[in-house]
Amino acid sequence: MTNSKNLAETKAQPDQASAGTAVFSPALAPQEGVAAATELFREAFGGEPDGVWYAPGRVNIIGEHTDYNGGLALPIALPHRAHLALRRRKDRTIRLVSPQTRDSVDVLDLDAIGPKGSPGEVRHWNAYVAGVAWALERDGLGPLSGFDAALYSCVPLGGGLSSSAALECATAVALDEVCGLGLAGSAQEPDDAGRARLVASCVRAENEMAGAPTGGMDQSASMRCAAGHALLLDCRTGEAEQVPFDLAVDGLALLVIDTKAKHSLVDGQYASRRASCEKAAALLGVELLADLGVPDLEKALSRLAASGAEDAPVLVQRTRHVVTEIQRTRDLVDLLRDGRPLAGDKLRTAGALLDASHESLRVDYEVSCPELDVAVEAARAAGAHGARMTGGGFGGSAIALVDADAVDAVARAVVAAYAAQGFTAPAFLDALPSAPAGRLA
Ligand code: GLA
């Protein structure tokens, strides 16, 4: 084990990168994750953890910036996970360690921590772990006790793949078990309603403790996805449905391109998109933009344009993205559900939906960036059936729907396009729809 931010990255990078080939960030095998987290735990705290829990990162296939508008999203869980070796304490102290901080254990007091901006503000990744304990108690699931925990994650940090939600959800399933909340069930036999309650506390931790006003899609994916499936999430009702998503049977694969352009959800851009949507909904007299459908759209846009709001043109763009993106999500799910192989016209339509999503996010929602645009253009030029940015944007990752035997060629084309632009080399992940948060040991 190294001192680095990410074992998978350090293993994969050196020679391949200098040779100009595509570098894949592999997921840790479950036993590797357990061993790494347990070793760190023993070193930092002595003795054995009560167990090792994990939660996955995610990629969203379509339905972007729809969650906080009450719309639809369609994420899958990645095989890349945050692992948390945790032991319950009898007092209210929380001690945390990760490979980056292994020389100095962080010590917090569950009775003294509080939201961002308050005297009890918790810094960095600690907010995602201690914040979940704090939020569970605020949500009436306490009192909990303190704990010692060692984190070992192979979800690329800042890659737009929900490394923070993975941490929150790993903490939630660990505390669910050691504190006897009994809400999560197991990864194999999940209690979906119980998990939805844990999701709410994870979102609260992210919103209030970390100060990122995110919408909940990431935590729902990490907690409620199933292997081999995408999760159709209705963010208004909280209902979730498993949609079979096994690209390999159709000779396809989903390539994730981590642009290495660091994205942030706390720098004001994400919050400003959300605020515009809320303003547009208020001007239109609806609770959430998801209350509008495509048939209402032109009329709604005209009303916004004539509203006299000084940012009316921006509100028109944001609203158009949200309403059309929800429809694209519905259309893709209808296609995936029809039982026919994803090939021919059906594949072309699916790819076109991904492409249209990217255009809408680039032009109307203005959350793309040059690295994301170059990634999707290069992937398409190299034969991808469709490609789009995924997640919050402003950096982070893109996805490309490709033939399984074209993964390497498409990845190499993206590497070459990045080199030509003088961008930092991207990394790649194989996005196999994987299991939700659970316990490993
Ligand atoms: C981030 C947020 C999510 C969601 C996406 C955009 O990942 O955490 O809640 O809003 O951006 O779809």
pLDDT computed for residue 2 by the predictor:
30
Q: Is 357 in the pocket of ligand 1 (CB under 6 A)?
A: no
> How far is residue 363's CA from residue 317's CA, in Å, rounded to a whole number?
8
Q: Is 163 in the pocket of ligand 1 (CB under 6 A)?
A: no
pLDDT computed for residue 53 by the predictor:
98
Mean pLDDT, range 182-199, rounded to an integer: 97
User: Strands 240-244 and 252-258: what pairing?
Assistant: unpaired
Catalytic option among 218, 258, 355, 364: 218
Most confident of 2-11, 97-106, 156-165, 381-390: 381-390
Whether the CB-CB separation of 136 and 205 falls below 8 Å is answered with: no
Statement: residue 4 has pLDDT above 50: no
What spatial distance separates the first Cα and last Cα of the chain, rounded to whole Å? 19
Mean pLDDT, range 149-176, rounded to an integer: 96
Show the tokens assigned to 417: 């396009």
pLDDT computed for residue 20 by the predictor:
66
pLDDT computed for residue 102 by the predictor:
75
Q: What is the pLDDT of residues 242-273, one digit of tens each?
A: 999 999 999 999 999 999 998 766 678 999 99
What is the position in ligand 1's atom list of the atom closest to the CA of 393? Answer: 11
Closest to 383 measured CA to CA, from 419, 408, 353: 408
Residue 115 CA, ligand 1 centroid: distance in Å: 20
Show the tokens assigned to 73: 């999203």
Closest to 317 measured CA to CA, from 296, 293, 300: 300
Phi, psi (rounded to 5 degrees) for 430: -90, 120
- Return the half-sphere exposure (C-beta side, CA atoms, 13 A cut-off) of residue 49: 33
> How far is residue 92's CA from residue 109's CA, in Å, rounded to a whole number?
6
- Which residues make up the CATH 3.30.230.10 domain(s) of the chain? 23-244+435-440
User: Strands 427-430 and 252-258: what pairing?
Assistant: antiparallel
Fold classification of 252-431 is: Alpha-Beta Plaits (3.30.70)
Show the tokens assigned to 415: 């590497």
Q: Is 391 in the pocket of ligand 1 (CB under 6 A)?
A: yes
Question: What kind and span of H or E run contains 42?
Answer: helix 30-45
Percent over 70 (pLDDT), the chain:
95
What is the position in ligand 1's atom list of the atom closest to the CA of 165? Answer: 8
Look over the chain and give the mean of its residue pLDDT values, rounded to a whole number. Answer: 94
Cβ atoms within 10 Å of 365's Cβ, excluding its own: 23
> pLDDT band for position 101 (50/70/90)?
confident
Whether the CB-CB separation of 327 and 74 falls below 8 Å is answered with: no
Q: Tell me the H-state helices in 291-398.
A: 294-305, 312-337, 344-359, 370-381
Q: Is 273 in the pocket of ligand 1 (CB under 6 A)?
A: no
Residue 411 CA, ligand 1 centroid: distance in Å: 25
> How far is residue 378's CA from residue 375's CA, in Å, rounded to a whole number?
5
For ligand 1, mutation pick of 163, 207, 214, 256 (most atoms within 8 Å of CB) = 214
pTM reported for the whole predicted model: 0.94
Residue 392 CA, ligand 1 centroid: distance in Å: 5
Q: What is the pLDDT of residues 281-333, one digit of tens each?
A: 999 999 999 999 999 999 999 999 999 999 999 999 999 999 999 999 999 99
Residue 405 CA, ligand 1 centroid: distance in Å: 31
Known catalytic residue at 67: no
> How far is residue 362's CA from residue 205's CA, in Å, rounded to a whole number?
29
For ligand 1, mutation pick of 68, 161, 217 (most atoms within 8 Å of CB) = 217
Q: Is 218 in the pocket of ligand 1 (CB under 6 A)?
A: yes
- Which residues make up the CATH 3.30.70.890 domain(s) of the chain? 252-431
Q: Is 274 in the pocket of ligand 1 (CB under 6 A)?
A: no
Q: Is 67 in the pocket of ligand 1 (CB under 6 A)?
A: yes
Domain 23-244+435-440, CATH among 3.90.1150.10, 3.40.50.720, 1.10.540.10, 3.30.230.10: 3.30.230.10
pLDDT computed for residue 100 by the predictor:
86
> How far is residue 344's CA from residue 59's CA, in Å, rounded to a whole number?
25
Statement: residue 15 has pLDDT above 70: no
Closest to 300 measured CA to CA, from 315, 284, 285, 314: 284
Q: What is the pLDDT of residues 347-400, one digit of tens each?
A: 999 999 999 999 999 999 999 999 999 999 999 999 999 999 999 999 999 999
Residue 45 CA, ligand 1 centroid: distance in Å: 35
pLDDT computed for residue 10 by the predictor:
35
Residue 117 vs residues 120, 122, 162, 165: alpha-carbon distances, Å: 8, 9, 23, 21
Q: Is 215 in the pocket of ligand 1 (CB under 6 A)?
A: yes
Percent over 90 (pLDDT), the chain:
91
Q: Is 217 in the pocket of ligand 1 (CB under 6 A)?
A: yes
Buried b (16+ CB within 10 A) or exposed e, 374-404: bbbbbbbebebbbbbbbbbbbbbbbbbbbbe
> pLDDT band for position 145 (50/70/90)?
very high
Q: What is the pLDDT of residues 103-115, one digit of tens each?
A: 789 999 999 999 9
Mean pLDDT, range 19-28, rounded to an integer: 86
What is the position in ligand 1's atom list of the atom closest to the CA of 66? Answer: 12
Rounded to 5 degrees, what angle do the CA atoms 45, 148, 135 make?
Answer: 165
Mean pLDDT, range 328-340, rounded to an integer: 96
Residue 361 CA, ligand 1 centroid: distance in Å: 13
pLDDT computed for residue 130 by the predictor:
98
Q: Is 65 in the pocket of ligand 1 (CB under 6 A)?
A: yes
Q: What is the pLDDT of residues 38-93, one digit of tens each?
A: 999 999 999 999 999 999 999 999 999 999 999 999 999 999 999 999 999 999 99
